[in-house]
Amino acid sequence: MVGIIPRFNKKLVSRIKELREKQKISQQELAKSVGVSRQTIYYLERGMSNPSLTLSLDISKILNKPIEEIFYYEPFVVEFLGNKTVDEMDEIADVTGVNLEKLLNLRKIDDNQLSTMYTEEELKKIAEALGVKFHILFIKDEG
C-alpha cells in the first residue's frame, strides 16, 4: 500500500559570513577573489541567493573549507522553533498534544526519523501552532 511520507522542507544555509569574518576577509576582498560583486557576497551571506557550483568551489578554495562546511540544508522548522522560549515551547506542546521532548527533537532529526516519529496529523498541528502552513515546513511524498 502506498502511503504519504512527510519530509522536511529545507532551505540552503550559508556560513560564508561567519567563516569570512573568522579569517578577517572583507566582503569586497572575497568578491574580488572569486570574481563577483560585493553585493553577490552580501546576498549569499543572507540566503537571498544561491551560488552556482563554480562559485561555491571558488569560495570553498578561498575560505579553505569543504563546500559542505560552507553550505548546508536546514529544515525551515529549525528557524521557526529556534527562537522560541521554554514557555512558548511548552504552550506549543500543550496545544498540539506533542510532548515537549518530542517537540524539541524536531530540531535535530532527519527526514527518515521524521516519518517514523511523527504522524502527519501531529506535524499539521505543529505547523498550525507555529502560525505557518504545513507545506512551508514539510513536504508530503508518496512512498
Beta strand pairing status for 10-14 and 4-8?
unpaired
State the Cα–Cα distance between residues 88 and 104, nearest whole angstrom: 12
Complete DSSP assignment for 36-68: S-HHHHHHHHTTSS---HHHHHHHHHHHTS-HH
Residues 6+ apart with CB under 8 A from 50: 12, 44
The pLDDT tens digits for 30-60 are 999 999 999 999 999 998 999 999 999 999 9
Per-residue b/e over 94-110, b at no fewer than 16 CB within 10 Å? Answer: eebebeeeebeebeebe
The pLDDT tens digits for 82-107 are 888 889 999 999 999 999 999 988 88
The pLDDT tens digits for 4-36 are 688 999 989 999 999 999 999 999 999 999 999
Res 1: pLDDT: 38
State the Cα–Cα distance between residues 22 and 114, nearest whole angstrom: 34
Res 2: pLDDT: 45
Task: List the domains of the chain with CATH numbers.
Answer: 4-8+75-142 (1.10.260), 12-73 (1.10.260.40)
Report, as an integer, the average pLDDT of 109-120: 89
> Residue 136 carries which side chain, given as an amino acid letter?
I
Res 6: pLDDT: 87
The number of CA neighbours under 13 Å toward the Cβ of 79 is 15
DSSP letter (8 states) at residue 2: -
> pTM to 2 decimals?
0.74
Res 86: pLDDT: 87
Q: Which three cell numbers stand for residue 24?
A: 578577517
Label residue 100 left, alpha or beta by phi (over 0 means left) and psi (-120 to 50 means alpha).
alpha
Res 38: pLDDT: 97
The pLDDT tens digits for 65-83 are 999 999 999 999 988 888 8
Report, as an integer, the average pLDDT of 114-124: 90
